[in-house]
Amino acid sequence: MNEMTSPGLLGQPHAIVERDGVRYTLLGTAHVSQASVEAVRDAIGSGAYDAVAVELDPQRLQALTDPDALSRLDLIQVLRTGKTALFAANLALAAYQRRLAEQLGIEPGAELKRAVLEARQRDLPVHLIDRDVGLTFKRASSRLGWWGRAKLGGGLLAALFVDEKVGEDEIEKLKQGDLLESSFGEFASDSPTLYETVIAERDRYMAARLREAGAESRGEAREVLAVVGAGHLQGLARHLREETRAPQAIREELEALPKKSEVPWFTLLLALFVLGGFAWGFWRGGLDVGSDLLLQWVLATGVLGAIGCAIAGGHPLSILVAFVASPVTPLHPALASGTLSALTEAWLRKPTYADFMALRDDVQTLRGWWRNRVARVLLNFFLTSLGTAIGVWTGGARMIWRLFG
């Protein structure tokens, strides 16, 4: 840490880096501390800074400053564009933050919100330097592998359903760490890959964004205050001081997602196995065996997909869509039974403004998931998809037993 003091930051963890004619004062905060809120207020109120940067992206800033933003969400568009899992992950993060707020009496990220509001009141430029949270989730997911993604998804779902106090050890870690990392729970500490994506990459990203912001100011902002979580302070200062690559190149590299294979190999192999099994059954066993294999596949996938939809409290027509779609969608790379049944549910039982506004409260209780129409659509998506997946394995196992048993 730089030993120099800066206005309003006496006694607060901070570092000062001078680069390219700009002096960056990095204030390390605790995301659940009133003292951090007051430090931010005093620092900006000192009048010593020309611009303020915060560890936020536009989506998280909107969530902090616009409580009605959720009510304007187009749920149909979320489903159609395949962003359902990301929406659920954001809900999990919001649920975790809500429990912290209720337990500690302070909104997580309150110091970041205060930094933005104080800067706007003084007509200071505000730079959002954090990477989009959706990109962070996607990059983390793509690097974890199948088992890692399953564990991560399980942890996020647990955050949605479990309503228990956050442990003292976790709170203490949060005061020195990062909100996103803490929201993943113990899995983050056990996964170097997740730590690299959620913490280390964002250190590099925020350093690059600060350098870009400094260049964009064209000499107008000589003193920049950056408000970041204490867990990012050392890494951010190091990259800001030592990195030699162009900031735009670094940002583009850390925003890129691994390219998926244009050939959906798993779907093609599954379709080849299933359709080949039907053809083999009709050829070797005649109409009786072939039709029996077809019927078993339809019943295994269709019934289990429909059961998942029914457990989610789906409308009868949504259940019918799940039953019809589940035998077909596993064989088509662009279709998903969960998406089709959830779209039907959202169309038949359109969520209201009140549903969106109550969503963060309702997902805190098991009953609320079935009472809230938005949450019920999400349940429909996940449980129908789960039922179909179980049906695929069940139907495939039955086909192998019938053909080769």
pLDDT tens per residue across span 109-148: 888 999 999 999 999 999 999 999 888 888 887 777 766 6
Instruction: Look at residue 24 and give its three-state secondary structure.
Output: strand
Express each pLDDT in 164-219 by its tens digit.
565 555 555 555 555 565 555 544 555 667 777 777 889 999 999 999 988 876 66
pLDDT (0 to 100) of residue 2:
43
Lowest mean pLDDT among 155-159, 358-362, 393-397: 155-159
pLDDT (0 to 100) of residue 199:
78
pLDDT reading at 394 higher than 80: yes
pLDDT reading at 262 higher than 80: no
Express each pLDDT in 36-48 by its tens digit.
888 899 999 999 9
**% of the chain beyond a pLDDT of 70:** 81
Contact 146, 98 (CB under 8 A): no
Strand partners, 24: 17, 224
pLDDT (0 to 100) of residue 173:
57
146-160, 279-293, 335-349: which has the highest mean pLDDT?
Answer: 335-349
**Model confidence pTM above 0.85:** no
Tokens found for residue 367: 């009953």
Distance (Å, whole) CA 90 – CA 272 = 37
Q: Which residue has the tokens 């003193």?
A: 223
Residue type, 221: A
Which whole number is the average pLDDT over 23-44?
87
Contact 26, 15 (CB under 8 A): yes
- The answer for 8, left when phi > 0, alpha when psi is -120 to 50, beta otherwise, is left
pLDDT reading at 86 higher than 70: yes
- The answer for 173, left when phi > 0, alpha when psi is -120 to 50, beta otherwise, is alpha
